[in-house]
A and B are shown apart, each in its own frame.
Chain A
Amino acid sequence: MTTSTVHAPTPAVELAGITKRFPGVVANDAVDLRVAEGEIHAVVGENGAGKSTLMKILYGMQAADEGTMTVGGSEVRFSSPSEAIDAGIGMVHQHFMLADQLTVLENVVLGAEPTRRGTIDRAAARRDLEDLGRSYGLDLDPDDHVETLEVGERQRVEIIKVLYRGARVLILDEPTAVLVPQEVEELFRNLRELKARGHTIIFIDHKLEEVLAIADTITVLRQGRTVATVDPSEVTAHQLAELMVGSDLPTPSTEPRADDDHVTLAIRGLSIPAAEGRPALDGIDLEVRRGEIVGVAGVEGNGQGVLVEAILGLREATGGDIALDGESISGWPVRRRREAGLGYVPEDRHRRGLLLDAPLWENAMLGHQTTAPYARGPWIDRRGARDATTDIVADFDVRTPGIDTTARALSGGNQQKLVIGREMAAGPRMLIAAHPTRGIDVGAQAAVWADLRTARADGLAVLLVSADLEELIGLADRLLVMLRGRIVAELDPATTTPMQLGGHMTGASGDGDPS
C-alpha cells in the first residue's frame, strides 16, 4: 500500500474497537491495537484478558462482533484463516496444530502444496523448507515424523509453516510457555532474525522479563480492554505487573522448613526401559519428606514426564519400588493411589487434565470421583460436587461465567487454575505437580505459589517438575536434575543460580555422562 504521507508510516496491523462477546463474558471490549511494520510487539495481560481471542480474530478463526481491522493500510474482514493467510498473516497457536503422524514436510505444505504433474512436488517443497531453515536458522529435518519431535522442534515446524505461506505478520500465542531457557534464547534469536528481514511479530507472553528483553512495544490488556501501550525501555517489570493485574510482581520464595524426618514418598531403583526412542528411567532413587518441596529440573524429554507417570501408576515400571508413607504402592492401580492422597497436576492440561467439552463441575470431580464431596456411596453427589466446584472457582480465582460453562470456553490460564484448585482442594498428602504455573499470569502465579507454601507448612510433600528455573530455585527445598532418565545432580537452591542449573540440565557441567 502506498498511502504515503509525511506522517507516521502505515502500521502493519491496526485493530480498532474490536469487540467480541461470548455467552456470559465480553472477551474483547473495544480493544485497540496498533502494530508498526517490522517491530516485535508484545501483548500481555492477565488470564482471560482476551489476548488469544483478539489474535484469533486477527487470524480469521473467530469473527469480531464489532470493530475494524486494517492490514497494510487496507481494511480487511476475514471469515476464515485462509483469507488471513492470503493477506500475509500467520499464527502459531497456544496449543500446537500439528498432525503427529504426518512428516514435518507434510505438515508444512498442507493446504499450499506445490504440485507437479498431479503429485506433490516433494523435491521442491524440501528445497523451499531447507532454504527457509537456512536463512532463518530454523533447523529441521523435513522427513521426521512430528510425533518424534521435541517441543522446541515442533514450535519451529509451526513457525516454518507460517513462513512457508509467505506470512509477513507472525502471531505467536505464548510461544515460550513450553520452552526451557535455552530454547527460549533460540526462539528469540529466530524472532530477531525475522524482524531483521522485515517481518512483523505479535506475541503473547506471561514472563515479563522475556517481554522486556525482546519487545519493541508492549500492549497491556485487562478484562478485555486495552489499558496501555508502553515502550519497554520506559517501564520495569514491576510497573508492567502493576498494569496487568494491579499488583506487584511476585517472586517465588519459601521459609526454611521445619525439621521433619517422616518420608512421604520413597522411590528406590525405579527403572523403565526405553520404548520407541523416548528416554525412560534408569535406577531413580528419590525421597520427598513431609512438608518438603523437591524440585525436578531437566530439559524436556529427559525422563521427568515418565517419572511423574510412573509415580501415578500410568506407566508400569520394570524395576524398583514406590512407597507412600512407608507402604509400597507399586502394585496399586491409579485410582487406589489417588484415593490414598496422591495429587496430580498434569503437564498437558488438555490431554490429561480436563474433559474439554464437559462442564466445570464435572471436571472438578476428575480423579476424585469416588470420594466426598463428589460422591456418596456409588452415586455422584451432584449438589456436593457443584458446591465444591463453586468453592474452587472462588478460592482459586477461576474467571468463568459459571460452573456449567464447558472447560473449553475458559482461557488457557483459567483452565490451569481449575486443575490446580481441584487437586489442592482435595487435601492431598503428596502432590505431583508438573509445570503448575505454565501459562498463568503473574497474579495467579503468586496465588499458586502461596497455596503451595501454605500446604507445605501444613505438611504436604510436593514433587515439583518445572521448566521455570526461577520457580524451582525459589520454591524448592532441594533440587534434583534429570538427564537421560537419571538423576545426575542434587543441588541446594540457596546456593544455585539459574545459569548453573541450566548447565547441569544440559550435562555441560561435567557430571552428566558425555555421549
Chain B
Amino acid sequence: MTSTLRSSLVLRWMLAALGVILALAVVQELARPETTDLVSSGTAESTLRRAVPILLAGLGGIWAERAGVVNIGLEGMMVLGTWFGAWGALEFGPWWGLVIGIAGGAAGGLLHAVATVTFGVDHIISGVAVNIIAPALTRFLSREFFVDRPGGGLTQSPRVESVGSLDVPFLAGGDLFGWTTPDIFHWIEDRSWFLASDVAAVLGGVTRSVSWATLLALALVPASVFILWRTAFGLRVRSSGEHPVAANSLGVSVVRMKFTAVVVSGGLAGFGGAFIAIEQTGIYRENQVQGRGFIGLATVIFGNWQPVGAFLGSLLFGFADALQLRDRTAVHALLLLVGVALAAQAVRAVLQKRNRPAFLLAAASVAVLWWYAVTEEVVSELPPVTPHVATLLVLVFAAGRLRPPAAIGLPYRRGQE
C-alpha cells in the first residue's frame, strides 16, 4: 500500500469521526436544555472505558473465527480473566493481575482448543461447556482464596488497585518531567465554540486520565491487523479458517494454527475480564462480566471479522452503556438522531431504486421520530439493547457484504479431503 493511499484512509476515518461528533452536537443543540451529556468529556471517557472489555472480547472472537473456530466460550474465558486478574492483582500488584488474568483466559482457550481441534467436539457445545465451567471454577476458587480475607467472600474479592493512568501532555494537561503542561483540549472546550469545543471535549475525554491498560488494549487493534494480515503466521491462521484442506496440502500445520489462535483468543478475553475487575470496578464480583463476551461476538459480526470494525462496534456498545448510566434524557435525544439517520438511508435506498429497503427504512424513521415527539424519556431497557439492534440491522442490510471465514465452525481432520 502506498503512503498516499494510507494517509487518505486516515483522513477518511478522521472525517467520519468528525461527522459523528457533528451529528451528536447538532442533536444536542436541538435537544437543549433537555440534555447536555451527549457530547461531553465525561461521556467520551466513559464510552472508551466501557468499550475496552468488549473490544478485547471482539478481538478474541476474530482471532478464533479467522482460524475457523467459533468461540462462544469467550464469556467464560472473560470470567476466568476477572477472577485471575483480581487474584493476581491482590497477590502481586495490578500489572501482574493483568498478566495472570490473560493467562487464566488463555487456559480457557486451551480447553476449548483441545475439545474442538483435537477431539473434534462441536464448537458450540464446547463453548457452552467453558461458559458453564468457568463460573463454577471461580466460585470454588473464591471459597479457597477470598473468603478469609478482609472484604473478600464467596462471591467477591477484596478491593484491588488499578494500574494507573496517563494525562497526555499539552493536549490534556499531563506532567512532563515534573512540569504540568497546559490543558489545550480543556481550554477549547471551555470556549463553548460550536463543534470545536465539542471535538475538544471528546478528545479531552479520551486523553485525560486514560489507563495504561486501555492504551495497551487499543494497541492490540493494529497489532492484530498486522499479525493476521501482514505476517506469514497470520496468513497461515487465516487460511486454516478459509480452506484448511488446501492449507494442509501446502504443508501448513492447520492443527497448530488453530490451537494457537484459540489460545490467543482466550488470552484476549482474559485480558478483557481482568480489565473489568482491575480497571473498571476495582474488585472481583461474581457475574460482573454480564454478557460482554457475547457482545464481543456481536461486534465480530458487526465489524465483518475485521479488527477495526470490531473496534467501532465496541465503541457503539460502549457509548450506549455510558449514556444509559450517565443521562437517560440523552438517550431520548438520540432517538432524533436515529430517526434522521434512518430517513437519510431511506432516501439513499430510493435513489438506488431498492424499493423494499427504502419502504422499510422510511417506516422505521417515521416510527422513531414519532416516538421522539410523543415521549419525554425512553424506557430504561432501551439503551442497552440499541447496539444489538444495530448489529441486527447490519445483518439485515449488509448480509451480502459480510465475509465470514469460509470454513468457520467446520470440524477438521488431518488428511481429509
Contacts and interface: CB of A to CB of B under 8 A. Distances in A.
B403 interface: yes
A99 B248 CA distance: 12
A113 interface: yes
Contacts of A408: 417
Interface string A206-234: 00000000000000000000000000000
Of the candidates A62, A97, A99, the one having the most CB atoms from chain B within 10 angstroms of its own CB is: A99
A97 B405 CA distance: 15
Contacts of A115: 231-232
A91 B245 CA distance: 14
Nearest to A86: B251
A81 B251 CA distance: 6
Interface string B243-258: 1011111111000000
A385 to B, nearest CB: 26
Interface stretch (A103-111, A193-201, A304-312, A364-372): A103-111
Interface in B395-417: 403, 405-406, 415, 417
A100 interface: yes
B292 interface: no
A101 B250 contact: no
B230 interface: yes
Interface string A82-102: 100100000101010111111
Given A109-B235, A118-B231, A119-B231, A99 B243 contact: yes
A379 to B, nearest CB: 27
Interface centre among B226, B247, B405 (most CB of A within 10 A): B247
B417 A110 contact: no
Nearest to B246: A97
B180 to A, nearest CB: 40
B247 A110 contact: yes
B239 A110 contact: yes
A91 B248 CA distance: 13
A97 B406 contact: no
Contacts, number: 72
Interface in B360-417: 403, 405-406, 415, 417
Contacts of A61: 249, 415, 417
A494 interface: no
B236 interface: yes
Contact of A85 (B238, B242, B246, B250): B250
Contact of A113 (B232, B243, B245, B415): B232
A102 B415 contact: no
B403 A110 contact: no
Contact of A97 (B236, B238, B249): B249
A120 interface: yes
Interface size class of A (residues with CB under 8 A): 20 to 34
B242 A99 contact: yes
Contacts of B417: 61, 95, 408
A81 B235 contact: no
B252 A120 contact: no
Nearest to B226: A119
Given A98-B243, A99-B242, A102-B238, A81 B230 contact: no
Contacts of A80: 251
Interface in B194-239: 226, 230-232, 235-236, 238-239
A112 B243 CA distance: 16
B236 to A, nearest CB: 7
B232 A101 contact: no
Contact of B405 (A101, A107, A111): A101
Contacts of B415: 61-62
Interface string A478-493: 0000000000000000
Contact of A119 (B230, B239, B406): B230
B246 A99 contact: yes
Contact of B235 (A82, A93, A100, A113): A113
A174 to B, nearest CB: 15
26 contacts: A62-B415, A82-B250, A82-B251, A97-B245, A97-B249, A98-B243, A99-B238, A99-B246, A99-B406, A100-B406, A101-B242, A101-B403, A101-B405, A101-B406, A106-B235, A107-B246, A110-B235, A110-B236, A110-B239, A110-B250, A111-B250, A111-B252, A113-B232, A120-B231, A120-B235, A161-B250
Interface of A: 61-62, 80-82, 85, 91, 93, 95, 97-102, 106-107, 109-113, 115, 118-120, 161, 408
Given A82-B250, A102-B242, A110-B235, 17 more contacts: A61-B415, A81-B249, A81-B250, A81-B251, A95-B417, A97-B246, A101-B405, A101-B406, A106-B239, A107-B246, A110-B236, A110-B239, A110-B246, A111-B247, A112-B251, A115-B232, A120-B230
